[in-house]
Amino acid sequence: MNSIQAALKQELDQQSFWKGLSLFDWVWGLIVLIGTGYAHSRYAELMDGYEKVILLSTGVSLVALGWYWKEIRWLSLAVFLLSLFGVSRYVNGLEDAGVDFFLRFLLSSQSAIMWMSALYVLATITYFLALFTRSEFTGKVAGAMTWSATTMGLVGLMVRWRESYLIGLDVGYIPVSNLYEVFILFSIITALLYLFYERRYQTRMLGGFVLLVISAAVAFLLWYAFDRNAAEIQPLVPALQSYWMKIHVPANFVGYGAFALAAMVATAYLIRVRAEGRNPHSLALALPTLDILDDLMYKSIALGFAFFTLATILGALWAAEAWGGYWSWDPKETWALIVWLNYAAWLHMRLTKGWRGKPMAVWAIVGLFVTLFAFLGVNMFLSGLHSYGEL
């Protein structure tokens, strides 16, 4: 064997995907496998076929996600252990939330979500601090805070899932079913999307902008929880009792989260464009370069568009089952279509007309407002035909 062949063999061996997996990766796969198997063996008879498929796909996606994005393994394990501990503290029923030390101050869903809220807000401030001082270290601290907030948010949802079953076995439901819960989901998903790109592009200086939109969501969440008592767990109306919910809602929120991320990147883009023209020493030049911002904006919108397409179609299939037609021109559906058409137009402009830069950034920000209306405004201002409202 000559030197090229030897080097080639070594190179190909080293670079192989399966060989690239660490021991931890394999342990990770095993843990998820065991967990999925256990969940199946324990709850199989309570699940219908669709739910089993959902369980299996969740397991597989989690392994794949953990292999592709290594931090997810730590996040999942932390969420897993904390949630398990939290759930195990409920012995006598829901009233333990006010009695047990750990539940009361840390792990009951309400407390965990308060921690999430506080940490996201702190992370926002810290990210901006990092930008102003141009300190990498501060940026890292902010990143750690965002990870912790995300962990607590997920723990909050997990424990809430269990709490809903503690109210009554027939009450229990996956906590992505009302506005309060999906706002938590929105914060978590937006944060995760950002964290992914942060590592990919080393763009810590962007954090403050993205976290700003999460902080706004947190502010709404707190208002909603305290002023409207929204944190209370209410049983589901019949129309919402469906396995579709388990996939439709999360897919939708990957879409919303990605669109929000794109809009905040667009904001940073516009700020940097302004600064570049005027002041060569401006703080804004600590932001990632315009090329990276532009690319990131496109990537998030593409991701959002793909998942939003998926979510809208899942929604249509669900509607076909619950309301008797896959499309009813209900305001919520119609606004989903509007959001979708809007981003389709955006993508075409960029791809086929080659539009770049400022107009696209402005459009991405406008897109967030359109999305926001579809997500919140429709519920607030337009009365729907949603037949579950009548039932």
Partner 1 sequence: MTPPRTSALLLKFMGSMNLAITLLVALSIAAIIGTVLQQNQPYTDYIIKFGPFWFEVFQQMALYDVYSSGWFLFILFFLVLSTSTCIYRNAPNMVREMHEYRQNIQLKTLENYSNSCHWSLTQPQEDVQYAAQQIFSHNGYSARLKQGEGYTLISGMKGGASRLGYILTHLAIVLICIGGLIDGNAILKMRQILGQIVPETRNIAASDVPEMSRLGINNPSFRGSVSIPEGRKTDVLFLNYRDGYLVQELPFSVEVKDFRIEHYDSGQPKSFESDLVIHDERLEQPLEQTISVNHPLIYDGYSIYQASFSDGGSALEMIAWPLMGGDIKNKKINTKVGDELSMSLFADPWILEPSNFRLFNINPSDEPGRKFKNSGPSVQFKMRNKTGEAKEFLNYMVPVEKEGLYYYLSGVRSSPAEDFRYLYIPVDDKGGIDRFMNYLNALGDEALLKRIVTELNFPGSALPSNSAAQLNDALIKLVGLFVEKGMEGVTEQIEKNVPSDKREEVSALYIKVLQQMLGAVYVDVLRKEGVDVSLGVDENKAQFFDDASVAIGALNRYGSPVYFQLSSFVHHQASGLQIAKAPGKYVVYPGCAMLILGVFLMFYAPQQRLWARLEPSDEGLSFVLAGHAIRNKLDFSKQYQQIRAQFNRVLTG
DSSP line for 201-265: HT-GGGHHHHHHHHHHHHHHHHHHHHHH-TTS--PPPGGG-STHHHHHHHHHHHHHHHHHHHHHH
- Residue 282 partner contact from ligand HEM, partner 1, none using kind-dependent CB cut-offs of 5 to 8 Å: none
When CB distances are held under 5 to 8 angstroms depending on the partner's kind, the choice from partner 1, ligand HEM, none that residue 349 binds is partner 1
Find the shortest distance in angstroms from Cβ 195 to ligand HEM.
23
Q: List the one residue out of 38, 36, 30 whose CA is nearest residue 66.
A: 30
Q: Does 324 bind partner 1 (CB under 8 A)?
A: yes
Q: State the angle between helix axes of 244-278 and 179-201 in degrees (0 to 180), rounded to the nearest 10.
A: 50
Cα Rg of the chain (Å, integer): 22
- Cα 10 to Cα 4, 18, 152, distances in angstroms: 10, 14, 43
Per-residue contact string for residues 291-310; x = within reach of ligand HEM by CB under 6 A: -----------x--------
Q: Binding mask 326-355 vs ligand HEM (x if CB under 6 A, - otherwise)?
A: ------------------x--xx--xx---
CB of 314 to partner 1, least distance (A): 9
- Cα(58)–Cα(360) distance, rounded to whole angstroms? 35
- Between 130 and 193, whose beta carbon lies closer to ligand HEM? 193
What is the rounded CA–CA span in Å between residue 68 and residue 32? 15
313 binds ligand HEM (CB under 6 A): no
Interface with partner 1 by CB under 8 A: which range of 49-57, 96-104, 114-122, 233-241? 233-241
Stretch that binds partner 1, among 114-122, 141-149, 188-196, 347-355 (CB under 8 A): 347-355
Number of residues that bind partner 1 (CB under 8 A): 62
Interior/surface letters 241-260, b for 16+ CB within 10 angstroms, e for the rest: eebbbbbbbbbbbbbbbbbb
Give the residues lining the site for partner 1 (CB under 8 A): 2-5, 7-8, 11-12, 15, 168, 170-171, 232, 234-235, 237-239, 241-242, 291-292, 295, 302-303, 305-306, 309-310, 313, 316-317, 320-327, 329, 331, 334-335, 337-338, 341-342, 344-345, 348-349, 351-353, 378, 382-383, 387-388, 390-391
